[in-house]
Structure 1
Amino acid sequence: MVVLNGSQLTIEQMKAILFENEGVEIAESAREAVIKSRTAVDQIVQQNKTVYGINTGFGKFSDVSIAEEDTRLLQLHLIRSHACGVGEPFSEVVSRAMVVLRLNALLKGFSGIRLEVLERLAYMVNHRIHPVIPQQGSLGASGDLAPLSHLALVLVGEGLVFQSGRHVPSAEVWRDELLLPIELEAKEGLALINGTQAMTAQGIVGYIEAEKLAYDAEWIAAMTVEALRGITDAFHPAIHEARGYKEQIEVAERMLEWLKDSKLTTVQGEMRVQDAYSLRCIPQIHGASWQVLNYVKEKLEIEMNAATDNPLIFDDGETVISGGNFHGQPVAFAMDFLKIGIAELANVSERRIERLVNPHLNDGLPPFLSPQPGMQSGAMIMQYAAASLVSENKTLAHPASVDSIPSSGNQEDHVSMGTIGSRHAYQIIQNSRRVLAIEAICAAQAVEYRGVEMMSPKLGGKWQDVRNVVSSFNRDRNFSVDIESVASYLGRITVQ
């Protein structure tokens, strides 16, 4: 069980919750903070103090007062009207992440929501009750209103949940669980939907997959180095220490480890003086992408432990402040940065693919790695597919965060578009994984021509892993199936 207290959740814990179905429980200290915060909201309602979202309308309607007897109905109207998401739903793993993150944020005790509601969110995580949440419709401020409204609808028995590959009404699920839907009270609807958990949830899932892909990119690149009889001097630690970037130094170290005891690699002057950039500059290029990943991880771990709704309640209710922590700009920037970092891993991978298949560049390998050049095309069109994917990535990498459009009668006049950024980042990760799958297929084929027995022991093991997924091609076939099979292999997430 992962104990949630609103301030110490990590990416590694999220990995266990999302990919190993680890359960969650609420820390006792968080329970106390939540109860205090809720008591403050009850007092505000009883004393008829005017506080945004408790007894006022929302957005442009913030100056409209709501009678005490209508404060519950106000919250139900809020989530119904704001559930305007459209398009395909987020994946079930992203939906699970969203529930965990919203729960963790509300456990900080600044939101005025009842413990009963948060216990139900924890129940949803532990019993795999995952809301069906459309991907499109969020501006990323006031947070992810539309996606989180679909999450909140499940609590009140009006939304849909995933169940065995189907979308099932939540009312049926609660009946099966012998539980009643939640009846929201003052501020609770707003507390549930005013936050950045859609962009952050998709960002976390994207980051976890991107981190795995960045490690995979190194052994795949190393296999290409062997296939092209690359020069290992370029990975000498002195070069990278002379520049000083930690991530670059670490990539170079890992490259040398992958290539240790290889009889296929060369030294400078043995066959050529230096390699092309796509081989020689692997530590510099991949290392820069690792810098991006480290930045993204830092921002996500702050955001996943942040209070992101509005208003926030402090000093046992003595201080209630309307602010803008729901604004997704920090996450939007991080997601746009992630897009660039991962797109570049694919860009350089595609250039290595070209060197593997191009007879003018591949140092004597068969043209397009074809078993019968001319009669059979071999890997020719695999390179086309890689080129198409990296070109698509360039379009998706356009920053979402540079866009903004006013909403709510110009009250909400600058928004982050962070959820669009996180969705596009995830698309780039999927595209890039397929590009690297193509490189892995081509590199595995190429080293067979050189001599598998001459590979480094570590890379020989990886070659066998690839061969366990796809066989060597001694004749043309439907390579789409191979690409998807290797991409699926690369996409498996394991928890240490």
Structure 2
Amino acid sequence: MDLAAPLHPDDLARAAQPIEVTLPAAHRARITESRAFLGKILGEDRAVYGSTTGFGALVGFKGRDDPRDQADNTLAHLGAGQGPDLDPALVRATVLVRARSLAQAASGVSPHVVDALIAMLATTFAPAVPRFGSVGASGDLIPLGAAAQALRGRGFAYVGGKRMPAAEALAEAGLDRLPLDGRDALALVNGTSLTTAALTLAARQVRKIAAAQQDLTCLLTDLLGVDPQFLDERLMRRYAHPGAITVAARMRAALAGPGEQSGATRPGAGEQSGATREQPGGKRPLQEPYSIRCSPQLFGAAEDALRYIDQVVAADLAGVSDNPLFFPDDDSVVHGGNFFGQPAAFAADLLTTVQAQLGNLAERQLDLLVDPHRNGGLPPMLAAGPGQQHGLQGVQLASTALIAEIRRDAMPAGMQSLPTNLHNQDVVPFGTQAALRALDQAELLRLICGSLALGLRQAAYVGARRPTGGRTGELLAELEQIDPVDPDRPLEQDVRRAAAICCDRY
């Protein structure tokens, strides 16, 4: 992985395990040049935030004279985080994002700092970082402060998944303690790398889940013998939204049989004159419930939203999140607000909205599937022996609880600004909370998706017709690796397995 190039979301996922990261010689030379420029302007007695001054609201006061003491001055007061540790995989992704930002040679950081982050990523080392404490404004100060301290051998860290004092973890991983001065310490913490990492991983996961849900909707349509005219190409062109057009084309392809065109719907679709349509699974209404009929419009809106979120992620992964920035060619040090995570906050809040509606859809589709009045006469709860067995009853209860959890947390964070830091940070984006919440909810949405998938597998067992579509048939065949529910058994692991079968295909 080359730090000269913008990161890809898959890079952050790979960072969960040891990875090889490289820094081209030309980029290292630019970092060295930027660092030398910092020394020059400090020698000219020019003001540089965090190097000659205090921090935050105390910027008007002189900092410590010794650069190493200034590093302590930066990091010690940030040791105020609370709550459980973040997932080490997320922390490692955060370090990768920070390394990419610093490698762009605009932070005046010492080259050995970037080298140390690269060395860390080649091991299983991960700083122990508390979840709570960031407002996502002057960067993720408290979480990144914990990460920086762990690299110095202070606090705690993980090696091979085991938590231990950071000094022991460094020794076990074969890493040296990281020496820092004031600018190095500030450069490590004064950015939104945690927010960016969490948003990136959440968006990546939701893209997989959305694709899986489209496939599951097609399988639902196929198993119940639903008329696919709601996906008609002519219909979707008139709807005009790009995401819906893309999604409907993908769904038509999933339902197409061998050698069948996926443009218009199948011959005769929508041409019956009665109020119902005869299918192998029973009579279907002329117009299906919205959870089927409006699914391409819903998925399409999600696709359009995800495209916007992808743009925010790409910009965050490509940009420099720090303050101040150094421009040797212009003999300038520029103070500003590139640590302000508002784009990620808005994107993460939007992602939460997307997940809530995707979860609503999947939970309603499962409800339809277990209801004998709407599933074409299949047994209630898809039980192999209703009364003697209970089929998907517990799974449906759990999925209803999961979507309620997502909906309860769907209040946007990005507009919940609270002033802090003696009104230096008088408006803050709370992007960290928004991004971490979106990442949490992605796991819940994945479980709802697995619940629907398990229901579809069970429907095929208790009497639904066999799929006629090529890709829907393939998906059912994969799901049939899971034993049918006959007799009843605990299903929590089956839900997780079904989720993996559906979502890990992408």
Q: Which residue of 2 aligns with 1:66?
A: 63
Paired residue type of 1:267: A
Counterpart residue number, 1:120: 116
Identify if the C-alpha distance between structure 1 residues 290 and 408 changes in structure 2 by more than 3 Å, giving closer, same or farther: same
Between the aligned partners of 1:454 and 1:296, the Cα distance in structure 2 is 34
Quote how far apart the aligned CAs of 1:167 are. Answer: 0.9
Q: Distance in 1 between matches of 2:231 and 2:503?
A: 27
Q: Which runs of 5+ in 1 are unaligned?
A: none
Question: Over residues 67-92 of structure 1, what are the superposed CA-to-partner deviations in whole Å (9 max), with x where a residue is unaligned?
Answer: 53x23211123112213222122212
Which residue number corresponds to residue 128 of structure 2?
A: 132
Q: Partner residue of 2:53?
A: 56
What corresponds to 1:267 in structure 2? 269
Q: Provide the residue aligned with 1:472 in structure 2.
A: 484
1:485 and 2:483 matched: no
Q: In the alignment, which residue of structure 2 is the partner of 1:326?
A: 339
Distance (Å, rounded) in 1 between the aligned partners of 2:175 and 2:377: 69
Give the TM-score, by structure 2 length. Answer: 0.91
The 2-side partners of 1:120 and 1:348 are apart by 46
Equivalences for 1:270-281 in 2 at 5 Å? 270-271=277-278, 272-281=285-294
CA distance in 2, matches of 1:372, 1:178: 59
- The yes-or-no answer on 1:411 pairing with 2:424 is yes
Alignment partner, residue 4 of structure 1:
3
Instruction: Among all aligned residue pairs of Structure 1 and Structure 2, give the percentage whose two residues are the same amino acid.
Output: 28
Letter in 1 for 2:480: R
> How much does 1:267 deviate?
3.3
Q: Distance in 1 between matches of 2:207 and 2:145?
A: 30
State the alpha-carbon separation in 2 of the partners of residues 326 and 425 from structure 1.
20
2:180 and 2:125 map into 1 onto residues whose CA distance is 19
> For residues 26 and 412 of structure 1, what CA distance do their matches in structure 2 show?
34
Cα contact 2:210–2:358 (8 A) shared by 1: yes
Query: For structure 1, which segment, 473-482 or 104-113, has the greater mean C-alpha deviation from structure 2 after superposition?
Result: 473-482
State the partner residue of 2:156. Answer: 160
* Counterpart position of 2:307: 294
Distance 1:67 1:429 in 2: 44
Structure-2 change in CA distance of 1:190 and 1:19 (3 Å): closer
**Distance in structure 1 (CA, Å) of the matches to 2:439 and 2:410:** 11
The answer for the alignment partner of 1:108 in structure 2 is: 104
Amino acid at match of 1:483: V
Do the aligned partners of residues 20 and 128 (structure 1) sit closer, same or farther apart at CA in structure 2, a change above 3 Å counting?
A: closer
Structure 2: segments with no counterpart, 5+ residues: 261-265, 279-284
Tell whether the 8 Å contact from 1:50 to 1:65 is kept in structure 2 after alignment.
no
1:343-358 alignment to 2 at 5 Å? 343-358=356-371
1:153-302 correspondence to structure 2 within 5 Å: 153-176=149-172, 179-261=175-257, 267-268=269-270, 269=272, 270-271=277-278, 272-302=285-315
SS in 1 for 2:203: helix
Match of 2:44 in 1: 47
Structure richer in helix, relative to its length? 1
In 2: Cα distance, 1:208 partner to 1:350 partner: 22
| Separation in 2, partners of 1:379, 1:175 | 50
Secondary structure at the counterpart of residue 22 of structure 2: strand
Query: CA offsets, 1:53-105, max 9 Å, x none?
Result: 1111001110111353x232111231122132221222122111111110100
Shift >6 Å, 4+ stretches: none
5 Å-filtered alignment, 1:432-443, equals 432-443=445-456
Cα distance change on mapping 1:186 and 1:44 into 2, 3 Å = farther
Tell me which residue corresponds to 2:475: 462
Q: Which residue does the alignment assign to 2:394?
A: 381
* CA deviations over 1:259-297 (Å, ceiling 9, x no partner): 12299x993333332211111112111111111111111
Number of positions where the alignment pairs a residue of Structure 1 with one of Structure 2: 488
Partner of 2:30: 33
2:320 maps to what in 1?
A: 307
Alpha-carbon displacement from aligned partner over 1:359-418 (angstroms, at most 9, x marks no partner): 221121111111122232222232222222112111211101110111111111111110
The 8 Å contact of residues 368 and 379 in structure 1, kept in 2 or not, is answered as: yes
Is the CA contact (8 Å cut-off) linking 1:140 and 1:415 kept in structure 2? yes
| Alpha-carbon shift at residue 20 of structure 1 (Å) | 7.0
Partner residue in 2 for 1:87: 83
| Contact 1:452/1:460 (8 A) holds in 2 | no
Cα distance between partner residues in 1 of 2:121 and 2:382: 49
Taking structure 1 as the reference length, what is the TM-score of the superposition? Answer: 0.93
In the TM superposition, what whole-angstrom CA distance separates every residue of 1:319-378 from its partner, at most 9, and x where no partner exists?
112111111111000000011112211111111111111122112111111112223222
Q: Using the alignment, how far apart are the partners of 1:296 and 1:207 within structure 2? A: 7
CA distance, structure 1, for counterparts of residue 174 and residue 162 of structure 2: 21
Contact 1:19–1:493 (Cα < 8 Å) also in 2: no
Aligned partner letter, 2:59 = S
